[in-house]
Structure 1
Amino acid sequence: MQEYFKNNFVSIYYDRTASLGIAEWKGHLRGAEFREAYLLCLDLVDRYALTRWFGDDRLMESIAPEDLDWSINFIIPRLATSSLLRMARLPSYSEGNRSGVETMIAKGHSYDINLILRDFAEKQEALDWLMLPFLAPEVYNALIEEL
């Protein structure tokens, strides 16, 4: 695992062999700091055509309304066209953050994307799921229907 970026609010890592990016968030990011962090994550995904992403949001605080609007209008469309196929996250302890992220996820469902997103309670469980082999969409959909 290599460090890509680190400051007081986010630590971003990647493993090119596993095609995995990781962001560990903390604190209350606003404005330029918030946008820079998200743009760095997208840059990392694009630079190495990552297919897996893990977000540890547990210590991230609420998202300001203007940053949420920016995310919906800029980040979500870029995620929809990115190489990511699977995203796992540990949701924030902050209700305000969880609500904002749920809004972003709902907007993401309006795009035709191949990205599968799941929330987890434990980091290792999330990483294990991320590292499972990818299935063809028709195989995956058939398995989901059986459940």
Structure 2
Amino acid sequence: MPFTLAAFIRLAPTSPTLYFNNALGRVYDYSPDYVRIDWQTAPVTHQDLRAVYEHTLHLLKRSGLRRVLSDHRLMPPYTPEDRDWLLREWVPRAIAEAGYSHCAVVQAHEAANRQTTQQLVEEAGKTALVVQCFAALHPALTWLLAQ
């Protein structure tokens, strides 16, 4: 299938809206297609990580969006406690309250974070959430928009 200008425009939205920002991450509204989380290199704190996810959930509910692109390229690993909170509390709430259905994860540059993320993705795969990991942004976005 040839790559058309319309497909390029759809893959590269020009007017995202910054919805939330803290030291650890930024949440963008890419309506009408998806929510994007860009993680930063700041040290992970429970408060900052949970704030990013809670604002993501709020945006999913407010906008009716169901898909998230989570860019982990710069994100440092997070704690087992945060991983458990995400899997046991946040993901089920996001599915139930917002209809969260698909997540494309762009893998981190650091091997330790890639391993942590892969474990999280495997666990999240046991829920109704469909999650895929990618080495680069473009394939992640292509996959996410096809869902």
Q: Which SS does the other structure have where 2:56 is aligned?
A: helix
TM-score, L = length of structure 1: 0.76
TM-score, L = length of structure 2: 0.76
Q: Deviations over 1:102-144 (max 9, x none)?
A: 3332332333x1x322222221222222222x4xxxxxxxxxx
Instruction: Give the corresponding residue for 1:65.
Output: 80
Q: 1:98 to 1:122 in 2, by over 3 A?
A: closer
Structure 1: stretches of 5+ with no match in the other structure: 135-147
Which 4+ runs in 1 deviate beyond 3 A? Answer: none
Which has the larger displacement, 9-18 or 54-63?
9-18
Counterparts of 2:59 and 2:104, CA distance in 1: 16
CA contact (8 A) 2:104 2:144 kept: yes
Name which of 119, 125, 138 aligns with 2:139. 125
Instruction: Give the corresponding residue for 2:56.
Output: 41
Name which of 17, 22, 25 aligns with 1:7. 22
Counterparts of 1:22 and 1:91, CA distance in 2: 14
Q: Which SS does the other structure have where 1:131 is aligned?
A: helix
Instruction: Give the corresponding residue for 1:106.
Output: 122
Instruction: Give the corresponding residue for 2:45.
Output: 30
The number of aligned residues is 130
Q: Deviations over 1:59-117 (max 9, x none)?
A: 10011222222222211222443423322111112333233323332332333x1x322
CA contact (8 A) 1:30 1:67 kept: no
What is the percentage of aligned positions where both structures have the same residue? 25
